[in-house]
Amino acid sequence: MIHVENLHKVYQTGDIAVRALKGVTLNIDEGEFVAIMGPSGSGKSTFMNIVGCLDLPSEGSYVLDGQEVAGMSDDELAAVRNRKIGFVFQTFNLIPRRPAFRQVMLPLMYNPEASGADMEARARAALERVGLADREQHKPNELSGGQQQRVAIARALVNDPRIILGDEPTGNLDTRTSEEIMVIIQELHREGKTIVMVTHEESIAEHARRIIRFKDGHVVVDEPVKRPLDARQMLAELPPEDDE
């Protein structure tokens, strides 16, 4: 599904060239669940931006689902992002005054294959998929952090992408809510979605099946998770919520 070979990325800051990626080569197969880790400045965010077709490499090859990405135009990249990739961000990236239903429907407006009635049905199905069928008219300020992230996941799913990219999807959430989100992500993985998730939390990374660690623009560790954590089990073992 994702193949990068000898991937380099150089950012020019004035007279200084910053080498964010230095010859990264790796494969991520269809249906894998991969966590990306590394300290600040390690190259993991740059790697995710390239994988998500938000940026292009300075050198090297990136083949996504059989297509070479490096030479694509902006319009071609936008089409790939819209149809093949669903994004889930740490800060949710919801539009403040727009209700959940409209937030989720937004990617469909850029999909030429979606029509009016179909768009509404798909948006409602996506909200139902994440357990928010009764919140479709709620605006972000009327939703908890966990509910906002569920809206963001529904928005990521509405075009039925083959890849879900998560950029610290639990970074702004408490432990219980994080596990609730990981339940959804693990379910999506079991349904066949390819999941690539950046996280700085070891306990979240261990829900994945494979961990790739970056340092100084290189991949320094690429290993399977021997016993992936089960989010449902983790949730069941947490102490009950305070009723106050």
Residue 6 above 90 pLDDT?
A: yes
Residue percentage of the chain with pLDDT more than 90: 72
Q: Which two tokens stand for residue 25?
A: 């080569």
Kind plus residue range of the DSSP H or E element containing 196: strand 194-198
pLDDT given for residue 37 in this prediction: 96
- Taking only the tens place, the pLDDT of each residue in 174-212 is 999 999 999 999 999 999 999 999 999 999 999 999 999
Residue 10 above 90 pLDDT?
A: yes
pLDDT given for residue 144 in this prediction: 92
30-56: average pLDDT: 93
Going from the N-terminus, what domains does the chain have, and what CATH number goes with each? 2-237 (3.40.50.300)
73-80: average pLDDT: 88
Residue 23 above 80 pLDDT?
A: yes
H helices, E strands: number in the chain: 8, 10
d(CA 47, CA 37): 11
